[in-house]
Amino acid sequence: MIAPKEEVATYAVGDAEGYLAEEKLKVDVINTDGSVAAVQAVASNSADIALADAGAILAAREKGVPVKAIGGLVRNWPWRMAVRPGSAVRSPADLKGKKIGVISLASGSAGYARAYASDAGLDAAKDIDLLPVGVGAQALTALEDGKVDVLALYTQAYTTIENAGTDLRYLDNSDAFDGIRSLTYVVTEKTLRAKKDVLTRYLRASYQALLFSAANPEAAMRDGYRAFPQLLTGKKADDRIADDTRTLEAWIKTAVPTAGEPEDFRDWGAISDVEWDKTVAYTRTAGQITKDVPLPELWDDSLLGGANDFDPAAVIAKAKAAG
């Protein structure tokens, strides 16, 4: 864990603010190294439910792993290309012959970099080089030292870099990336059949926690410190709260509607057929799957009615009253 994101906005807030307790849930958290590992944890029954990139879920499904997506979380495309302000790279076409820093070659950022190059009319296999650089200071050092020309990271990771005083310039994503889904809740078909009620209650607690976080990110961040004290890196909460709240807010913006206030947010977890079609097409372009995965095999939204059965006004009132 290098910066606050979904584990704070869903689990930590759900625990601290009583949403998990209200649903009579006791949750054990398991850390995994990325989306592929998260899907593997679910498939091996090490976890009942996990958040994973939709592409990793699709890839597992194509290989015959009996997993299902049951609710969305990140609804706004979070990946961006970034360069130093003085870089000669100013358009997607300028990526030809360039080195792109990705989190790892198995990460969502690698798939994004390939799809971005393909969308720009480049040959992703020949025209760009992908180099693993991780995130945070490691990624920034690779960019500043010239080991890579461009970074392909998610927006919240860039906020962490910018909080340290570094300026970046971003390349535009084309309209092709609008509507592609990212982090999504995944379970096995067996768990879905056996634990529908438990899963519904977990989703409801998570979506209430996310709404609370959107209404009061600072209070959510303080809940995060209590659940994950390692986020403090040995410092006092008051010394970190401003930067960490900005970082958490950057992540929250990827998981809530782009317009409106928290009072207007509805339909938590919904993913339309059009969004799934775009996500499947993107995942093929990114090289994670080789053929389309039929939607009925992939997606089950039967729990979302129950997951949305809560009073948003009460959640927002509680958030606004929090210190």
- The answer to whether 119 and 97 have CB atoms below 8 angstroms apart is no
Q: Is the pLDDT of residue 214 over 60?
A: yes
Q: Is 124 helix (H, G, I), strand (E, B) or coil?
A: coil
Stretch(es) of the chain classified as CATH 3.40.190.10: 6-76+180-321, 79-177
DSSP category for residue 68: E
pLDDT band at 156 (very low <50, low <70, confident <90, very high): confident
Q: What is the pLDDT of residue 160?
A: 86
- Which residue(s) pair with 288 in the sheet? none
- Quick: pLDDT tens for 177-201: 999 999 999 999 999 999 999 999 9
Contacts of 37 (CB under 8 A, 6+ apart): none
For the domain 79-177, what is the CATH code?
Answer: 3.40.190.10
- Quick: pLDDT tens for 104-153: 987 788 989 999 999 999 999 999 999 999 998 899 999 999 999 999 99
Contacts of 190 (CB under 8 A, 6+ apart): 66
Q: What is the pLDDT of residue 143?
A: 97
Gyration radius from the chain CA atoms: 19
Helices (H), the chain: 6, 13-16, 19-22, 35-43, 54-62, 108-119, 136-144, 155-163, 189-194, 196-215, 217-227, 237-255, 273-285, 295-298, 304-307, 312-321
What CATH number does domain 6-76+180-321 carry, 3.30.450.20, 3.20.20.60, 3.30.360.10, 3.40.190.10? 3.40.190.10
pLDDT band at 230 (very low <50, low <70, confident <90, very high): very high
Mean pLDDT within 155-167: 89
Q: What is the pTM of this model?
A: 0.90
Distances (CA, A) of 198 to 20, 32, 202, 247, 298: 11, 22, 6, 31, 20
Q: Which residue has the tokens 């976890």?
A: 47
What is the residue-averaged pLDDT of the chain? Answer: 94
Q: What is the pLDDT of residue 2?
A: 62
